[in-house]
Amino acid sequence: MDKIVMTGMQFYGYHGVLPEENILGQRYQVDVELYLPLDKPGSSDCIDDTINYAEAYEVIKSIVEQEVFKLIEALAERIASRLLQTYTSINEITVRVIKPHPPVAMFFDGVKVEIHRKQA
């Protein structure tokens, strides 16, 4: 299946279980893979035949920056469901949410959640 991949999108959000995370916020990284047929836009060269990734970016940004979740799993789920609802041409989607600096006394590169969903 063809796909559009958007990687390394960075946003500032207020997600987390700890109250400090909801007050101070932190940076999040989001990657999405949108699985859909790209033969028509490949032939037509018309934006109306594909997903406008600038618009999809704004959908993701509004979720990460304006909504609040305790878990990044819930954040990923919200992104997936909103994109599938907004763009019915997407057959499947993979969403990765990365929390690079979780407030824990451990040293590692962050926490990543990855989910894969299909159109209902």
Which residue in this structure is represented by tokens 């960075």? 10
Per the prediction, the chain carries an average pLDDT of: 94
- Taking the model in full, what pTM does it have? 0.93
pLDDT digits (tens, 9 = 90+) for 7-58: 999 999 999 999 988 999 999 999 999 999 999 999 999 999 999 999 999 9
Distance CA 120, CA 66 (A): 26
Distance CA 107, CA 101 (A): 9
70 catalytically annotated: no
Where residue 105 falls among pLDDT bands split at 50, 70, 90? low
Residue 103 has pLDDT above 90, yes or no: no
Domains and CATH numbers, the chain: 3-118 (3.30.1130.10)
3, 61, 99, 118: the active-site residue: 99
